[in-house]
Amino acid sequence: MEKSYHDYIFESKHKKQKKIFFYLYVIMITFRALEEFVKEKLPAFGDEKRDYILSVKLSRLQIIRREFV
């Protein structure tokens, strides 16, 4: 049975979605590791500065998510 044009498009979209979700997963892990690094390695910063750094990083992650979804 031959594949139709629609089947090829569906498979292509599915592969692209898998890649996007993989990259989002990697980005989320990276930001979580960065969050832990900021919490553990930068205690000299006050709580406000650490919270600011984390909020900036998390807002960037949200922007990246919006671009992919």
* pLDDT (mean) for 12-27: 79
Q: Which amino acid, residue 9?
A: I
pLDDT at residue 52 is higher than 80: no
Contact between 61 and 33 under an 8 Å Cβ cutoff? The reply is no
Q: Which has the higher per-residue pLDDT, 68 or 15?
A: 15
Cβ atoms of residues 21 and 64 within 8 Å: no
Q: What is the pLDDT of residue 66?
A: 65
| pLDDT band of 19, cuts 50, 70, 90 | confident
Over pLDDT 90: what percentage of the chain? 0
8 Å CB contact between 50 and 36: no
Q: How far apart are CA 31 and CA 61, in angstroms?
A: 8
Token readout for 50 is 């650490």
Q: For the chain, give the mean pLDDT.
A: 71
pTM recorded for the entire structure: 0.47
